[in-house]
Chain A
Amino acid sequence: MAGRTPKPKAKVSVTFAPHGRTVHAAAGANLLDIALASDVKVDAPCGGQGRCGHCRVKVEAGTLRRRHNPKLARAEEHEGYALACEAFVTGDVTVSVPTAEEIRSRPRPGTAAEKIALPFHCDWQRHPAIRKLTVHMEPPSLADNTNDLDRLRRELARQHGINDVVVGVGVLRTLAKALRDADWNVALTLDMRNWVLDATVPPRLLAIDRASDTSPNFGLAIDIGTTSVVAYLVDFATAEVVDTVSAYNGQISCGEDVISRIVYSQRKGGLERLHHLVIGTVNELLHEIAGRNKIDLTDINEVTAAGNTTMTHIFLGLDPKYIREEPYIPTASVLPRASADWLGLDINPHASVYCMPSVGSYVGGDISAGVLSSGLFLTDKLTLFIDIGTNGEMVLGTKEWLISCACSAGPAFEGGGVRDGMRATAGAIEDVWINRETYEPTFRTIGDRPALGICGSGLIDLLGELFVTGMIDKSGHVDRTLSSPRVREGGHGYEFVVAWAPETGRGHDIVVTETDIDNLVRAKAAIYAGFRVLCTSVGVALADVEQILIGGAFGQYINVEKAIEIGLMPDLPWERFEYLGNTSALGAYTALVCTDMRHEVVAIAKRMTYLELSADNAFMDEYTSALFLPHTDLATFPSVKVQVETNGTAARHSGHRSRAAQRVSAEGDS
């Protein structure tokens, strides 16, 4: 920072709006330095290195001398924006700085609390899934002694043109009383059963109420993740999402990943227990959402569920054993209807539960749902859709063809298998910057709580930072010669201290170890290798991919820039990346309300080609090639190459040289 120290020069006055503070500074001084010296809070997580682009200010009056920085578009420069760390005062100036509140509430990519809506236009009203109809009957008499059910059928045909209806014994038991209680004016809830493509399949009667009864008509869309379960309560009348809830999957105690769950399911009573745990989780969510919205759970008349193949199997009580064993065969891909009472869900007991169809053992209904909600099946653009979790599932294609694969990345990106890793909940470090001169990190935690650990996005950030600052080499080894108290040899090899014990809510230092780094590098390598193999398998280049859609519960928090730095994501222009949020839940929701989309998701699953990687040598080759930062073939990461060559790593190398080879210079070798 010595270079920024102004020579004694004319004083200028700098006003910070909206604080209204005015200070005097030497001409030529750096704006960020001035702000910090005057206690004006500017968001600069990278410590003023010009790398994060957060310290943006707007010039209201006067001018600044600005260094160009890629973090600020030229257009924004023209609008008067500047990065404080790249700006120097030359005369009196007024700049406006976002307030602390503004900074905190600034939405992170994809996390804007926007209303959940159907991802694209569809004609959901054309064939509603569940219909409410009122039917008026003459009471029976000696002259018209038709039985109750036939009477109902007769009027249903007359008044609504519905000639046939299936009535199960369960509903039949309530029929006589319900008709009479309602004085022969009833409201019927009908499951139109339009999952079945055959239009002649008659609807099924779900409930009979008084005609005056205006109880609402709800549906539920669930995303059954290995880690967490998310549910959307949907109003069939408007097709809108009324509320959402989520919770950890109760099965977590039986293993963190699908393989562990399958192993668990093979114990005595294991499958039943897993099944009950996930049903229990869904029921808890149901009660929470019912309480919060003051609704009657029996008004939920249909459910769609999206989960990976294993989760779907267990949810339905199917044995997942053969999913794990070669040749990896699921019981079924397109799954039949199940009824709520049979599964034990606390909703209308006659309600149907439909699971999203899967493609293969390791590409499940969550991915079919993701392809549906992402709109990938409609696009002309060569698109890569990815769902990053324990299993990195990905789909490549256009509206004409789809190919998918799954690569086991391990739980590192969900905070598993990493010493101080954690899920993305309050207290998790999610954003990290390291100063490349002092090696001091600055970080942000979810909810601004004391740090408890590091979540997946934080780990990606951290890895990227350690790499571009040259603290670790391209193979992920910590530079042992760094003089920083944060680099030390711990019980499991070298480690970097991200937070000292007093800064945490844990009482001990939060660190990342070389083994953690190894695990992260392996996780990112598996995913990147998947991209490459998928592209090669159909003969397209990764660089030709026109858009990358990131779905899944974790995807929306990924910092693309950092993900590219470490070689997790391909080095493509940022505009090609898009976050879609929880595509699995969105897909289940879309299929819940729109009949056409129900047929579409089945068609998607059926036509999607599944590429098995487990026996694929090409995958292993790509994988080892990706076990490097950012990649063994640096030429495929041009933007990172530039950084590595101009940034920290180069600086470190010269450091190496001077240390390792003081003897050399005498000889004139270097």
Chain B
Amino acid sequence: MALTGLQIYKLLPQTNCKECGFPTCLAFAMKLAQKGTELANCPYVSDEAKASLDAASAPPIRLVAIGAGERAFEVGNEVVLFRHEKTFYHQPGLVVRVKADDPKIVELTARMVSSYAVERVGMSLRLDGIAIEDSGGGAAAFAAAVAVARSAAPGLPLVLMSTDPAAVGAALDEAGADRPLVHAATAANWQAMAELAKKHSCPLAVRAESGDLTALADLAAQVQDAGVDDIVLDPGTSDPAGMLAAFTQLRRLALKKNYRPLGFPIIAFVGAGSAEEQAAMAAEAITKYAGVIVLDGFEPALIYALMTLRQNVYTDPQKPIQMEPKLYEVGAPTASSPLLITTNFSLTYFTVSGEIEASGVPVWLLVADADGMSVLTAWAAGKFDAEKIAKTVTASGLGGKLKHHKLVLPGYVAGLSGEVEEELAGWEILVGPREAVEIPNYLKSVWKAD
């Protein structure tokens, strides 16, 4: 179980020598408790302390890498059931399934999956791999399809979907060096599959039937005993309710019971339904603990939404909630509507825009990047000063849109008005109220465009 900062501190030398890069041993211990640093950074920990700390910090869910090279992805190593408790670390890989029977389709899909990219808040989001599903055409056909995918999409991680050890063996002879995920070892074939996975050092998925976690644990343990370390779990559920129950139980067993045989990432299949059906199933998998999600076919409209949701769910909730710094329109402002400026702390934004909305006066609300701090805090930290305000106004390109050149500052930074006026030639700087509650009154009775 995780130790608190104070418990870790008691195991440290308590000399405050600072060599770990922290000012005190307690500061180091607290960071360690949050998993923000490594024990190895303290050169003076006793072996005894080390042993007990290591035991407490071993990841309850193993980190498993799928693929090789640049596009390889890692899943697992999660530490919480709910993202607000800390954060979700390794976003699930989104993989597109294609049947092996038509090489043309395999090639086309591999190309599209490989080249798909979508830009969102400055990040390029991509698909993580392609799953080639054995359609029963024999080992050679399966291996050939894998070869097609490999050459069409070099470096794209693969999932080899077949329960036939011969087919998997042939495919691994082709692509074994790429560390594809093999899906799946079952009660019937696990010895042979484990053998292959071990031979090629590939991750191996183990599959039970309809959510039988006891069977799944046994299977995982057997495969592990056979020498496979990187395991992915498939509880074999295909309906939303069963999947949710199984995935939740797997995560709880790993985190709350530290149950090692099931301390692995999970793979989810969203089925072959319509785009919205797949969307519903995949949204569940993203929010509820999947490590790999297999989509049925390449549908950009679906993929884009899922990638966005995945990005959202896997952002760190411990960072203060920030608004995107930009110009917001509250109501339908016109060229003679007032221009107010505030900071990008979400609560500040919500309070201010709420009051503006309540006032019924349409307003241009300019939100400055102040690292998510409130007006006073940002001012205190030098992040909302005359220079920043002037830059924000200039960058907004508002000058051309407005009939007037008047900027309303929050009352708390009234002292900056002179400096802002100097920085923003041709603008008149007005001082608004200190408190958001007074905004409606200000807009209705004080503000004048000319």
Contact = CB atoms under 8 A, between A and B. Distances in A.
A408 B373 CA distance: 13
Nearest to B383: A326
Contacts of B379: 259
Given A538-B6, A610-B23, A615 B16 contact: no
B380 A540 contact: no
A269 to B, nearest CB: 17
Indicate the size class of the contact surface on chain A. 20 to 34
Contacts of A614: 373, 377, 381
B6 A617 contact: no
A606 B15 CA distance: 10
A610 B153 CA distance: 51
A25 interface: no
A515 B320 CA distance: 26
Contact of A401 (B9, B347, B383): B9
B317 interface: yes
Given A617-B317, A624-B347, A539 B380 contact: no
A537 B36 CA distance: 14
A620 B5 contact: no
Interface in B1-43: 4-7, 9, 14, 16, 23-24, 26-27, 30, 33
Specify the main secondary structure of chain A where it touches its partner: mixed
A482 to B, nearest CB: 20
B435 interface: yes
A537 B5 contact: yes
Given A610-B23, A617-B319, A259 B7 contact: no
B34 to A, nearest CB: 10
Interface in A585-633: 606-610, 614-615, 617-618, 620, 624
A542 to B, nearest CB: 15
Interface residues of B, number: 31
A408 B26 contact: no
A110 B16 CA distance: 36
Contact of B30 (A259, A263, A609): A609
Contact of A538 (B5, B24, B415): B5
Given A538-B4, A606-B16, A624-B347, A617 B26 contact: no
A664 B383 CA distance: 53
Contact of B380 (A408, A518, A538): A408
Contacts, number: 66
Interface in B356-375: 371, 373
Contacts of A326: 371, 381-383
B318 A617 contact: yes
Contacts of B33: 539
Nearest to B30: A537
Contacts of A492: 438
A325 B435 CA distance: 25
Nearest to A397: B26
A324 interface: yes
A609 B24 contact: yes
Interface in B378-413: 379-383
Nearest to A359: B23
Contacts of B27: 609-610
A606 B24 CA distance: 8
Given A401-B6, A607-B16, A607-B24, A538 B30 contact: yes
B23 A324 contact: no
B283 interface: no
Contacts of A608: 24
A615 B318 CA distance: 9
Nearest to B24: A609
Interface string A261-287: 001000000000000000000000000
B187 interface: no
B45 interface: no
A518 B435 contact: yes
Interface string A527-545: 0000000000111100000
Indicate the member of A324, A325, A537 with the most B CB atoms within 10 Å. A537
Interface string A386-428: 0000000000000011110000101000000000000000000
A620 B4 contact: no
A20 interface: no
A330 to B, nearest CB: 12
Interface in B318-371: 318-320, 347, 371
A70 interface: no
Nearest to B317: A617
B125 interface: no
Nearest to B374: A620
A624 B9 CA distance: 30
A265 to B, nearest CB: 13
7 contacts: A403-B26, A538-B6, A539-B7, A540-B6, A614-B377, A614-B381, A617-B318
Q: Top 6 A-B pairs ranked by shortest CB distance?
A: A539-B4, A609-B26, A609-B24, A325-B382, A538-B6, A259-B380
Interface of A: 259, 263, 324-326, 328, 400-403, 408, 410, 492-493, 515, 518, 537-540, 606-610, 614-615, 617-618, 620, 624
Given A609-B27, A610-B23, 14 more contacts: A259-B379, A325-B382, A326-B382, A400-B14, A408-B380, A492-B438, A537-B5, A606-B16, A606-B24, A607-B24, A609-B30, A614-B377, A620-B347, A624-B347
